[in-house]
Structure 1
Amino acid sequence: MRHTEIGGRKVSALCLGAMKFGSQTDDATSAAILDRFIAAGGTFVDTADCYQYWVEGFEGHESETFLGRWRRANGITDEVVIATKIGAQPTVPGGGPYDQEGLSAEVVATAAERSRRRLGVDRIDLLYTHKEDPHTPLEETMAALSRLVDEDTVSLLGMSNHRTWRLERARAAAGDHGHRPTVLQYRYSYLQPRHEVRLESPAFTHVTPELLDYVRAENAAGRDLTLVAYTPLLSGAYVRPERAAALGPAYDHPGTRNRLAALDEVARETGATRNQVVLAWLIAGGVVPLVGVSGVDQLDEAVEAVDLTLTPEQRRLLDEAH
């Protein structure tokens, strides 16, 4: 499997999402997926401290807890980078988005420590702020995160689901402490939504052209910044008509049809699936796709895409379809 770098650390070019592990995906299946991923050369796994509080019967720490058990059972140490996120866990049982902990200095310290203990690590490899906290000054949050790096309980910092102006302000504040976030996590795929239309879930924050321009500018200036894309396969919408219909009005525009036609042409030329072409397109653009799978067969399809190389003509065809 091909690899890339985040914050100077080498990781697989494909990230495995563990959101449902320990909850909707049973332990045996979760372990089988992880084992297959590692055997294929995967070294990058993603979770959060709130996965999956919204599913009946679960509280929000199940994924981290499962990954901690899996690490201990398999003797996993520094060879696998595990990223987690804080700030979106409800403060009350049965709570929702309006009851989330946020990103105060106190929450950053306590939430990170809870995650570290669940994962069973001395140092969290990569810690994201899960979503914006409009009630806490960015300077307070970034100072608290920087303290974790100084204390050697967190290695790398990241941010997820923040508007670009807040991201820039946060990275500027963090620079005062010497520890800028180096990884971003947003929703991104080949099909592009109309940004003025709400996505099917208010929890999603999609990449905008402005954000892509910001990432390019930061990297050109030598301030390394990596984009990790969640929901890159749009929850099966590329291959399942009922999932495509569920995308809603944001994707109901001529660009979707034009891009699907280009996608199908490249799939025919390469002999790959639509999903594989999408993942290869993201990787070719310097993006790390974060895939969530429910079985080993889905994982194998994603892993094979990492070694799919698109020609310049194929990339141009995909890029220019609007």
Structure 2
Amino acid sequence: MEQRTLGQGLTVSAQGLGCMGMSQSYGEADEATSLATLRRALELGVSFWDTANVYGDTGPGGFGANERLLSQVLADHRDEVTLATKMGIEGIVPDGPTRFRIDARPEAVHRRCDESLERLGTDRIDLYYLHRVDPDTPIEETIGAMGELVAAGKVRHVGVSEVTAEQLERAHATHPITAVQSEWSLWTRDIEPEVLPTARRLGVGLVPFSPLGRGFLTGALSGQSFEGRDSRARMPRFNEENLEANQAIVDEVRAVADAHGVRPGQVALAWVQQQGDDVVPIPGTKRTAYLEQNVAGLDVHLTADEVERLDGLAAQVAGARY
């Protein structure tokens, strides 16, 4: 597995693994299947794993279940994994009308870190993210507390998620930021005008989540409807009308894939991977077969003309992200 270096010298596998879907958002959790996928990831060299304190509202054990799931593999393989988790979003009631709140006060930063360490069964977090900026807490206070965790040896690197360029500037001025995690894919390009150039100017790495468009860019969701615990049921892009309109995007991706003899999802991942050596996507899956397909996307090399062709697809997207 190729290695890439994020800001502040954190070397990780060129493709990571988003673990959220193993415990929430995309149907029912399946612990045995997820554990097999985690172990297969290590065999393939996918050693950059991403979770969060709040992941797991629909899985066994409720909020925090995803960290506990990972702990079962980390117990014997901790030194093989570059472990990323997050804080800032807190779960309230899994099935209540308000399931989450944002709290990134310094005392919450310290408390949530200790809770995550206990659930993960480790003494350190390699990359600790502010999951969302707390509108009631200056980002300098939050990042300052995260810097204290670094000084205490509980955290190696600090990251931020879904921030603006101005917030990233302020965070980095408080403590060096290693990575910014944001949604980035063929059909979600919001970070490109401001956040991306700011991150590169500051030497901050990019960790795109949902690089496969929550599965849409794989072409496997055609004709599907979403309901119940599948979070896509609440996303405008996945309503019936927009899904039909957005099928034209998948058709274009599939045409490029056919030229390479690969799958559409592998082309979508290749597009993200080719955005720069400072970019490390974390496609999520709970199934071994999809993990293997994603890793094979590293072997797809798009031409400049193909990249340009794919670049234009974002203008065709129907429906908002959230």
Q: How does 1:118-197 map to 2 (within 5 A)?
A: 118-172=119-173, 174=174, 179-192=175-188
In 2, the alpha carbon distance for the partners of 1:168 and 1:84 equals 22
How far, CA to CA, are the matches of 1:231 and 1:59 in structure 2? 22
- For 1:56 and 1:94, locate their aligned partners in 2 and report how far apart those are by CA, in whole Å: 12
Deviation at 1:99, TM superposition (A): 5.1
Aligned positions of 1:23-62 closer than 5 A:
24-53=28-57, 55=58, 58-62=61-65
Residue equivalent to 2:116: 115
Report SS of the residue matched to 1:33. helix
Is residue 2:262 matched to residue 1:272? yes
Q: Deviations over 1:268-305 (max 9, x none)?
A: 22111110001011001023221111311111110100
- Which of 239-248 and 207-216 deviates more? 239-248
Q: Deviations over 1:204-234 (max 9, x none)?
A: xx53522222223x2xxxx321111111112
* Partner residue in 1 for 2:288: 296
Letter in 1 for 2:158: L
Tell me, in whole angstroms, the C-alpha distance in 2 between the residues paired with 1:10 and 1:232. Answer: 20
Give the structure 2 partner of residue 213 of structure 1. Answer: 197
Matching residue's letter, 1:62: A
**Following TM superposition, by how much is the alpha carbon of 1:141 offset from its aligned partner in structure 2, in angstroms?**
0.9
Q: Which amino acid aligns with 2:4?
A: T
- Mapping for residues 11-90 of structure 1, pairs under 5 Å: 11-21=12-22, 24-53=28-57, 55=58, 58-72=61-75, 75-90=76-91
- State how far apart, in whole Å, the 2-side matches of 1:104 and 1:96 are: 24
Q: How many residues align?
A: 296
Which segment is superposed worse, 306-315 or 43-52? 306-315
TM-score normalised by length of structure 1: 0.82
Could you report, residue by residue, the CA deviation over 1:40-69 in whole angstroms, capped at 9, with x for unpaired residues?
A: 11110000000122x276431101111112
| Contact 1:19 1:51 (C-alpha < 8 Å) held by counterparts | yes
SS of 1:235's equivalent in the other structure is coil
Letter matched to residue 196 of structure 2: L
| Residue identity (%) | 33
Shift of 1:161: 1.7
CA contact (8 A) 1:48 1:86 kept: yes
Deviation string 1:148-184 (CA, Å, 9 cap, x unpaired) is 1111110011001222222222222x1xxxx311111
CA 1:56–1:37 in structure 2 vs 1: closer, same or farther (change >3 Å)? Answer: closer
From the superposition, tell whether residues 118 and 31 of structure 1 become closer, same or farther in structure 2 (CA, over 3 Å). Answer: same
Are the counterparts in 2 of residues 188 and 207 from structure 1 also a CA contact under 8 Å? yes
Distance 1:87 1:192 in 2: 23
Per the alignment, residue 241 of structure 1 pairs with 222
Q: Give TM-score, length-normalised by structure 2.
A: 0.82
SS of residue paired to 1:229 = strand
Contact map agreement 1:237 1:243 (CA 8 A) in 2? no
Q: For the Cα contact (< 8 Å) 1:236–1:244, is it kept in 2?
A: no
RMSD: 2.8
> Which residue is 1:5 aligned to?
5
Whole-Å separation in 2 of the counterparts to 1:92 and 1:316: 45
Query: For the Cα contact (< 8 Å) 1:19–1:47, is it kept in 2?
Result: yes
Distance 1:314 1:208, change over 3 A: closer
Give 1:120 deviation, angstroms.
Answer: 1.7
- Supply the distance in 2 between the matched residues of 1:243 and 1:101 (Cα, whole angstroms): 32
1:240-291 Cα distance to aligned partner (Å, 9 max, x none): 22459966369969x9677545423321221111100010110010232211
1:310 aligns with 2:308: no
State the AA in 2 paired with 1:145.
Answer: M
Tell me the CA shift for residue 237 of structure 1: 1.4
AA aligned opposite 1:4: R
Q: In 1, Cα distance between the equivalents of 2:248 and 2:289? A: 29
Cα distance in 2 between the residues matched to 1:49 and 1:65: 10
Unaligned runs of 5+ in 1: 194-205
